[in-house]
Structure 1
Amino acid sequence: MIRPTLALLLLCGPAAAAGTISGPATVIDGDTIEVQGTRIHLYGIDAPETAQSCETAKGLEYRCGREAAHALRARIGSAPVTCEKHGPVAGGRLVGLCQVHGEDLSAWMAAQGLALASRQVTTAYVAQEGHAWATRRGIWAGTFEKPADWRHDRRRVEASAGADE
């Protein structure tokens, strides 16, 4: 009888058994991709949600969440992405340290000002975020609500609307 661990190794190869997944990626949002049918949250960052808006320095509203997803999609292009499982599953998604052409996608997103460093998870991307802030790149060029706060406010509004029915 083959043990389940050995069966996984035989079916998926050593990379999958070791916690690595590689292949073409589909961008779900600014900090979530899908590789081989598996949703993966990019380790250590929090990007604006797809429906989230921010303001430019001139006070013009723009869809910063959509812009973050578009930039990530452009950065990946058609290249394969390799993700190493990093930490527990968060919200039903695998958390992964993902790279394209050897470049850490979380570091790139933070450096572009398209995502915040998740300090409660790691301090690995604080320097990239700080550089984006200092050079007013991405969301740092104007004003924005932290993605976690935006999600919290959205849930509170939705719960309040549901209670009124």
Structure 2
Amino acid sequence: MLRVCAVFVLCLLPQFAAADPNGRIRVIDGDTWDVGGDRVRLFGIDAPEVDQTCQRPNGEVWACGQWVSQQVRKQYDGKSASCTALDTDRYGRIVARCAVGREDAGRVMVSDGLAFAYRKYSMDYDLDEKAAAVNGRGLHGDQFQRPAQFRAAKRSAVQPSRQDCPIKGNVSSKGTRIYHVPGQEHYGKTRINPSKGERWFCSEAEAQQAGWRRARR
């Protein structure tokens, strides 16, 4: 009877079976990597979006999201990571804690001011962010909007309609940002869902500057 009960309880528990990603890193942006062919969202941190801007003390607005992606790419692209899978997100990415060498990559990025502790999901890097802020490392010397707030503001903003801007900016199940122009194979069936960060663009240059790439077909 006890064995039957144990099996029943196990069946009720949520199943998480993603394999631990390991292998060479290809940096997509500050907190999203391809690791050995798996799309990984780094656990416990939140880095600026590619199209996000910050403001320097002198009032200058600069592309801090692009800068963070470049810095992370310089530091980690092409190296090997060993990750522990913890969950999957709504885009199908594996949420994982990743080590490069003997260092926790998320902790290093937060300590360097390239990302922020994502306290909604974890307090693991809370003190690392506070130390970076006290010492003015990375983004902490400037005025910035936390990435989650930036994404929320984008979702709530009025988006251009198809009549105004015909290019469709789609986010795939793996989190890849792809845009479709009229006449391409999948243009007609592509739907735009602003709650996922999807949007319309008025030109290909605008889409590319925001971090989207053109669909291959």
Task: Kindly provide the amino acid, as one letter, of the partner of residue 87 in structure 2.
Answer: G
What's the CA shift for 1:91? 2.7
- Looking at structure 2, the residues matched to 132 and 76 of structure 1 have their Cα atoms a distance apart, in angstroms, of 20
State TM-score, norm by structure 2: 0.63
Q: Write the deviation string for residues 29-87 of structure 1: whole angstroms up to 9, x where unpaired.
A: 11000022211001001100001011122221111111111121122143211111023
Relative to 1, partners in 2 of residues 1:127 and 1:90: Cα closer, same or farther, differing over 3 Å? farther
Residues 26 and 77 in structure 2, CA contact (< 8 A), matched pair in contact too: no
Relative contact order (alpha carbons < 8 A, sep ≥ 6): 1 or 2 greater? Answer: 1
What's the CA shift for 1:158? 4.5
Instruction: Give 1 or 2 for the bigger CA radius of gyration.
Output: 2
Q: Write the deviation string for residues 115-164 of structure 1: whole angstroms up to 9, x where unpaired.
A: 110111111000110011101111110101111111111122254x3399
Q: State the 4+ residue runs in structure 1 displaced beyond 4 angstroms.
A: none
Residues 85 and 94 in structure 2, CA contact (< 8 A), matched pair in contact too: yes
Q: Which has the higher helix share?
A: 1
Structure 2 gaps of 5+ residues are 1-16, 165-217
CA RMSD of aligned residues (A): 2.0
2:87 aligned residue? 87
Structure 1 gaps of 5+ residues are 1-16
Q: Percent identity?
A: 33
Give the paired residue count.
148
Matches within 5 A, 1:1-165: 19-159=19-159, 161-162=160-161
Residues 26 and 34 in structure 2, CA contact (< 8 A), matched pair in contact too: yes
- Looking at structure 2, the residues matched to 112 and 27 of structure 1 have their Cα atoms a distance apart, in angstroms, of 17
